[in-house]
Amino acid sequence: MSFNGQEVQSFPNNHTPFEFESKDIASLRTLIIDNYDSYTFNLLQLWGNETNNENVVVIRNDQFSWNEFKENVLPYFDNIIISPGPGSPVTPSDFGICTKVLEELDIPILGVCLGHQGIGATFGGQLKNAKTIMHGRLSLVYHEETFDSMSLYYGIPNPFWAVRYHSLVVDNKDLPSELIISAWCSDENGSKTPPFKESSTIMGLNHISKPIYGLQFHPEA
């Protein structure tokens, strides 16, 4: 489909992605920013299938300038997903407009893998190399228990198995006060003991005052 004179991808449907007015979950207007990753379209299918939401559009991270994005794209969306991708979020050519999205917007944002790392870096955290490169590795992930039905982890087993593809992680030392750890795992081979959150590998982050959430693992894998 074409949007503002440029081709974008959308979840297959019989509507344009901008026809809906109500804000129930099946009509939220969701934008996925693609960081040139093959898993982006798995996210597109997962979000559409799990929410019965046919109102999803994908753009590339460099498809629009920041001003074009703010003026001509952003007004049509209620929330944003920042996709996985190669490289590092501190490299502008790898992350495109996503840093500005995180710095300046107040709508709900979910960052996955590279998007999660970008949340850490944007708000003052440090990135470091993972102990080993994760390529399709299954890890047992622990999360904060919650009774809040709006939480990302509401109703999710604790712990749960998740798939990881990454070589960088957000360093859990000197994490900025704006971010809290919401999920974590141990990278010690054969460890059967639940890890301590503060000394483990960060698998999830929440911003304390903005609706921004990060997942290091791949929920779509």
Size of the chain in residues? 221
Is the torsion defined by CA of 144, 150, 153, 154 positive or negative?
positive
Helix, strand, or coil (residue 101): helix
**Catalytic machinery residues:** 113, 218, 220
Supply the DSSP symbol for 80.
E
Q: Which helix (H) or strand (E) holds 111?
A: strand 109-112
* Nearest-angstrom CA–CA distance, 187 and 194: 11
CA gap 98, 77 in Å, rounded: 15
Q: Which is it for strands 179-185 and 160-170: parallel, antiparallel or unpaired?
A: unpaired
Q: What amino acid occupies position 134?
A: M
Q: Residue written as tokens 């050519």?
A: 93
Contacts of 31 (CB under 8 A, 6+ apart): 56, 57, 58, 59, 73, 76, 77, 79, 80, 81
DSSP secondary structure letter of residue 212:
E
Task: Compute the distance between CA of residue 163 and CA of residue 109 in angstroms, rounded to an integer.
Answer: 21
